[in-house]
Amino acid sequence: MPYITVGKENSGDIDLYYEDHGTGMPVVLISGWPLSGASWEKQVPVLLEAGYRVITYDRRGFGWSARPASGYDYDTFASDLDILMCELDLGDATLVGFSMGGGEVARYIGTFGSQRVRGVAFISAIPPFLLKTDDNPEGVDGSVFDGMRRAIVEDRPGFLARFFQDFYNVDKFGGTRISDAAVQLSWKVAVGASAAATLACVSAWLIDFRDDLSLIKVSTLVFHGDADRIVPFEASGKRTHELIAGSRLVVVKGAPHGLNWTHAAELNHALLDFLKIVSAAMPARAKKAAKKRR
Q: Catalytic residue at 279?
A: no
Active-site option among 224, 241, 257, 263:
257
Catalytic residue among 228, 236, 241, 247: 228
99 is catalytic: yes
Amino acid at 248: R
11 part of the active site: no
From 52, 103, 101, select the one nearest 260 (Cα to Cα).
101
Determine the Cα–Cα distance for residues 265 and 110; give it in Å rounded to an integer.
31
Alpha helices in 168-283 (DSSP H): 170-173, 180-191, 195-204, 210-214, 237-243, 259-262, 264-280
Residues 6+ apart with CB under 8 A from 143: none
Q: Catalytic one among 65, 79, 99, 236?
A: 99
Q: What are the strands, taking DSSP E only, across the chain? A: 3-9, 12-21, 26-30, 53-57, 93-98, 117-123, 219-225, 248-252
**In whole angstroms, what is the distance from residue 174 CA to residue 191 CA?**
21
Query: Cα–Cα distance between 28 and 85 in angstroms, integer?
Result: 9
**Residues with active-site annotation:** 99, 228, 257
